[in-house]
Structure 1
C-alpha cells in the first residue's frame, strides 16, 4: 500500500514527472475522446452556447472532483467524463429532447450517489481476483500500446522520433522519459507548423442552465443505459487501475463524490463523470513517479488543467484537439508501456490463475461490444467465468485496509 507523503515539503524535482503525467492524461482525454461530446451536441442540435456550457460543466466538474479526491486521499484519483456515455448519446440525443436528457442525467447521477452511499460497489471490487484485475487492465490498454507504434505507417518521422527519444530517455533518465517525449514532440510539431496557434483567443465560458424535464421514455432510453454503461465501462476498470497500482481508497467515496458532482453539473449539460480508467493509468503507474506516494501530485495537476480548460471554454480544448492523431496515440501508448508491462507480469504471476488471466486479457483486448455494453465489462465477465470454472469459486473478499484519518468508506 502506498504510504502517505511526509509532512516535509516535496522537492521540486519530485513535481515535474507527476505534473507532466497529469498534463499528458488531460491532453490524451481531450485529444482522443472529446470529439464525441461535439458529435453528440451536433446530433442534438444544440446551440454553440449550450455546447460550450456542456464542455464547461464536464471540465469543471471533472477537475474539481479529481482535485478533491486526490487531495483528500493523497492518491492520484483522476476523474473524467464518461466516454462510453458520450458515445451512447451520439445516437440517443437524436430522439430525446435536450431538457428530458438533462432530467435523465440527474436521475443517473442520483443513482450513482445512492450506489456510493450503499457501499455495495466497493464490495464487488474487492471480490475480483488480483490476477483477473491485472489481466483486464492489460487487455484494455493493449490497443493503446499497439497504437504507439501503429502510427508509424502514416507518420513515420514523428512516431520514429518519439520512440527513439523514449528508449534513449528510459536508458539515461527514466523518470523524465514521458516529460522528454512530450517536449520533443511539441517542438517537432511546432517546427513543422503542424499546430496552428495563430488564431487562438482565450474566451471565458458561460454556463447555461437548462430546466430539466422528466419522462418515462428518457428514464428508460437515456438514464438507465447511461448508468449501466458508465458503471461497467468506466467505474469498474477505473477502480481496477487504482487497485493494480497499489492504491486502496475505497470505491464508495469516489462513486459518491463523482455522482454528486454529476448531479450538480447536470443542469448545465454534463452527462456524467466518473473515475478515469485509461487516462488515469498514465498518472497512477511508475512512469508518473517511481515513488507511489508522490503520484498524487499528478491527480492534483490533472484537476487544475481540467479546470483551466473549463474556464476558457472550447478554445483550449480546440488546441488539444488540433494535435495530430498520431501524436496523441503515440504519446498515450508510450506513457502506458510501464503499466501494460506491470499488469501483464502481475496477471501471469500466479500459476493457479494464469490461464483464466490469459483468457481475461485476450477477451478484454478483443473489445467485445454486445447489447450496448463495451469490452471492459465482457472481458471481466468472461474472465470471472473462466476463473470460477478452473478454480472452483471466487476467492474471499480481500481484507479492508486501514482507513484511519480517512472519510468513512460507507
Structure 2
C-alpha cells in the first residue's frame, strides 16, 4: 500500500476527528502525567523542574504530532515515553543529581535520532530479543504496579476509593478508567490537603533550563535503558498501530523527528517523546472518521490539546506535590497495569527463552545498583548472558 501522504486531503476538521483527538489527548495526559512527575522527581528534579519537564514534554509531543500529521497527511500521534518515566521512577537519582539525568536524556534522544537516520542501529534495537526487552520493562514497572496495594494498606479508605472507581469504570469503558481514578484522587486531595499552603507562583508554567552534566554511570544506567524501552515499547509498537490501520509511513524519519523533539525538550527536563501506541489507535481508527484520508485531523487536534495541557503543568505538579505520595503512586500504578501485563506475557510466552527472561525480570525488579548503574542495565546484561548461553550450540532453524 502506498503512503497515505499520497491521498487527497479530503476536507477539513470533522466532528468525529475533533472528538477522537480530544479524547486521545485527555486519556494520554490524565492517564500518565502522574508517572512522569514521579519519574522526574525520582532522578532528582525539584517541583519546579518536574513541572518544567512535564510542560516541555506536553508541548513537544503536541507540536511534533501536529507537524508530522500535517506533513504526512496521516494520523501520527505522539506521546511521552511512559515506560521511560517508569524506568526513571525505579532508578536512584544519579550522583550528579538532575543535571546528570538531563545529560542522559540528551544522549538517549540523540540515539533515537541516529536510530532513525542510520538503519543498522535501528535494526540492532529491533534485534534485541523480545522476551528480554519485555522482561526488562516488566521489571521496571513492577514497583509502581505494587503501589495501589500499598495505598490500601497505608490509607484504606482512600486507596479503595481509587481502586474501586478504576475497576467500575473499566467495566464500562476501559480507556476512561485511569482518568476517572485521577479525578477521584484529585477530589481526595482537594478534600484533605490545605491548598492555601500551595505556592501560587508555582501554578504558572515556568520553563527551567537545566545545564546538563555527562556522567558515565548515568549514560549506562539511564540513557541506554531509556533509549531501549522508548524504541522497543513505544516507537516500534507505534508503527505497528499505524500499519494495522492501513498507513505505511517510513519509520526512520518518524523516529528521527521524535528524537529531535526529545532533544529540544531535554534541557527543560523532558526525558523523551515518541510515537504513541494506545492513543494512536484512537486517532488512526475508524472512530476518528470513516474516510481514512481525513483521520489525520484527529492527531492534529490531539496535538493542540497537548500543548494546552502543557500550559497547566505547573498547577498539576503543584497540586500533586501537596498530596500524599502513595496516592499518586497508586494512580500511576493503575495506569501501568496494562503495560505490565502485556510485557510480562511477552516475556514468558516462549518456553525456550523463559529462563533468560525471568533472570532479566528479577535482576531489573530487584533495584540492584552497581557503580551507580541501575538494575535495568544489569537485568538486560544478565538475561542476555543466559540467553546467549542457552542458545550456544543450539542448531539454527529457519
Normalising by structure 1, what TM-score? 0.67
CA distance in 1, matches of 2:140, 2:395: 23
How far did 1:366 drift?
1.8
SS across alignment from 1:18: helix
CA distance in 1, matches of 2:298, 2:333: 18
How far did 1:380 drift?
1.9
* Of 54-63 and 346-355, the range deviating more from structure 2: 54-63
SS across alignment from 1:78: strand
- The equivalent of 2:190 in structure 1 is 190
Matched, 1:233 2:225: yes
The CA RMSD over aligned residues, in Å, is 5.0
How far did 1:53 drift?
7.6
- The equivalent of 1:270 in structure 2 is 268
CA distance in 1, matches of 2:170, 2:284: 18
- The equivalent of 2:16 in structure 1 is 10
- The equivalent of 1:177 in structure 2 is 177
**Structure 2 CA distance for partners of 1:319 and 1:190, relative to 1, 3 Å:** closer
| Cα-to-partner distance string for 1:281-314 (whole Å, 9 max, x where unaligned) | xx7459x979984799998788656644655674
Q: Is the 8 A contact 1:26 1:305 kept in 2?
A: no
- The equivalent of 2:336 in structure 1 is 336
How far did 1:127 drift?
0.8
**Structure 2 CA distance for partners of 1:198 and 1:177, relative to 1, 3 Å:** same
How far did 1:115 drift?
5.1
CA distance in 2, matches of 1:70, 1:88: 37
Larger helix fraction of residues: 2
**Structure 2 CA distance for partners of 1:185 and 1:16, relative to 1, 3 Å:** farther
| Cα-to-partner distance string for 1:303-328 (whole Å, 9 max, x where unaligned) | 65664465567455323433431221
* Gaps in structure 1 of 5+ consecutive residues: 43-47, 213-217, 397-410
CA distance in 1, matches of 2:376, 2:133: 11
| Cα-to-partner distance string for 1:111-161 (whole Å, 9 max, x where unaligned) | 764454223331112112222322222222111111121122322211111
* Of 143-152 and 63-72, the range deviating more from structure 2: 63-72
Q: How many residues align?
A: 366
- The equivalent of 2:63 in structure 1 is 64
Normalising by structure 2, what TM-score? 0.68
Matched, 1:20 2:26: yes
CA distance in 2, matches of 1:52, 1:139: 27
CA distance in 1, matches of 2:57, 2:17: 32
- The equivalent of 1:388 in structure 2 is 388
**Structure 2 CA distance for partners of 1:65 and 1:348, relative to 1, 3 Å:** same
Matched, 1:372 2:391: no
How far did 1:330 drift?
0.9
* Of 193-202 and 347-356, the range deviating more from structure 2: 193-202
Q: Is the 8 A contact 1:159 1:327 kept in 2?
A: yes
- The equivalent of 1:257 in structure 2 is 257
CA distance in 2, matches of 1:375, 1:297: 41
Q: Is the 8 A contact 2:37 2:50 kept in 1?
A: no
Q: Is the 8 A contact 1:162 1:185 kept in 2?
A: yes
CA distance in 2, matches of 1:177, 1:162: 10
User: Which of residues 199, 211, 214 is equivalent to 1:222?
Assistant: 214
CA distance in 2, matches of 1:229, 1:250: 30
**Structure 2 CA distance for partners of 1:141 and 1:351, relative to 1, 3 Å:** same
* Of 149-158 and 239-248, the range deviating more from structure 2: 239-248
CA distance in 2, matches of 1:103, 1:348: 34
- The equivalent of 2:96 in structure 1 is 92
CA distance in 2, matches of 1:223, 1:262: 19
